[in-house]
Amino acid sequence: MISIIPAAGKGTRMSSVTGGGAKEMLPVAGKPLIAHAFDEARLARVDEIVLVSSPLKRDLNDYFLSLEYPKRLVIQPEPTGLGPAVILAGLNEDAVVLLPDALYSPGMPAARIARMLAEGYDVVLYTEVVTDAQVKRFGILESATPTSYPHILEKPSPSDTASRLAIGGRYGFSSDALKRMAISMFEDPTPDMSLTPAINYALEQDLHFVHLEADDDERRFDCGSVSGYKKALKELG
């Protein structure tokens, strides 16, 4: 089993804070965001941690390679979306995916996701309950019905769904699921391929699916936004 940390995006929303540098190198509680994600992946006891990064992020890439654990750096030449980044890391092993700008403290959910994959689940989606006002900022998980598979709605209006289960920046995929997701992206390529359509395609294949809700101590700090990053600095140091 591997852990995938996608980090090839441009991070334009955070440019006022990063000054053009990698947002994954922003410090929180004495270490950069990438180190928090790395530590969470390490605690999940995966066999290898894979960073999918940009050739322009030399500071991030050098820092990642200095960390102690079996690891691999994969370069995504162009930021073509989260979907291709995950597939680029590899298709032959089960994978726990951690978005590094979603910082969890003190609880870290990756280990729970890894356990579900080890038990034989193909798609593990980690969710948290959000308010009506927050719905349009997230992918929202809708449960299966007699006429539909479970699926994710990407940033819907609160009136478009009764669900308040938001995807929290953590995922688990079996090798089988990853291969099916890759097929969906190959069949319907777009300039910026998000992960959501590929996940929905996998869910329609009757794969073994489970969703995990956040525990009370698994607090998420959205360090992909300026306000969320400032909140993390205020509360975590």
Please give the tally of structural domains in the chain. Answer: 1
Q: How far is CA 45 from the centre of its chain?
A: 17
Give residue 13's pLDDT: 81
Q: Has residue 146 been placed in a domain?
A: no
Strands 165-173 and 123-129: antiparallel
Give residue 83's pLDDT: 92
Q: Has residue 135 been placed in a domain?
A: no
Tokens of 88: 């680029």
Q: Which residues pair with 142 in a beta bridge?
A: 151
Q: Has residue 103 been placed in a domain?
A: yes
Q: How far is CA 81 from the centre of its chain?
A: 12
Burial class (CB in 10 A: 0-12, 13-18, 19+), 131: exposed
Give residue 119's pLDDT: 97
Q: Is the pLDDT of residue 175 over 70?
A: yes
Q: Write the DSSP assignment of 13-56 as a string of letters.
A: GGHHHHTTS-GGG-EETTEEHHHHHHHHHHHTT-SEEEEEE-TT
Kindly report, residue by residue over 186-202, the tens digit of the pLDDT.
877 676 788 999 999 99
* CATH value at residue 84: 3.90.550.10
What is the overall mean pLDDT for the chain?
94
Give residue 191's pLDDT: 64
Kindly report, residue by residue over 4-43, the tens digit of the pLDDT.
999 998 777 888 888 888 999 999 999 999 999 999 999 9
Q: Compute the distance between CA of residue 223 and CA of residue 237 in angstroms, rounded to an integer.
A: 13
| Mean pLDDT on 121-134 | 97
Q: Is the pLDDT of residue 121 over 90?
A: yes
The answer to whether the CB of 34 falls within 8 A of the CB of 64 is yes
Q: Has residue 229 been placed in a domain?
A: yes
Q: Has residue 79 been placed in a domain?
A: yes
Give residue 155's pLDDT: 95
pTM for this model (two decimals) = 0.95
Give residue 228's pLDDT: 94
Q: Compute the distance between CA of residue 60 and CA of residue 54 in angstroms, rounded to an integer.
A: 9
Kindly report, residue by residue over 211-223, the tens digit of the pLDDT.
999 999 999 999 9
Q: Has residue 101 been placed in a domain?
A: yes
Q: Has residue 17 been placed in a domain?
A: yes
Q: Which domain holds residue 96?
A: 2-127+167-193+201-236
Kindly report, residue by residue over 42-72, the tens digit of the pLDDT.
999 999 999 999 999 999 999 999 999 999 9
The answer to whether the CB of 139 falls within 8 A of the CB of 152 is yes
Q: How far is CA 201 from the centre of its chain?
A: 17
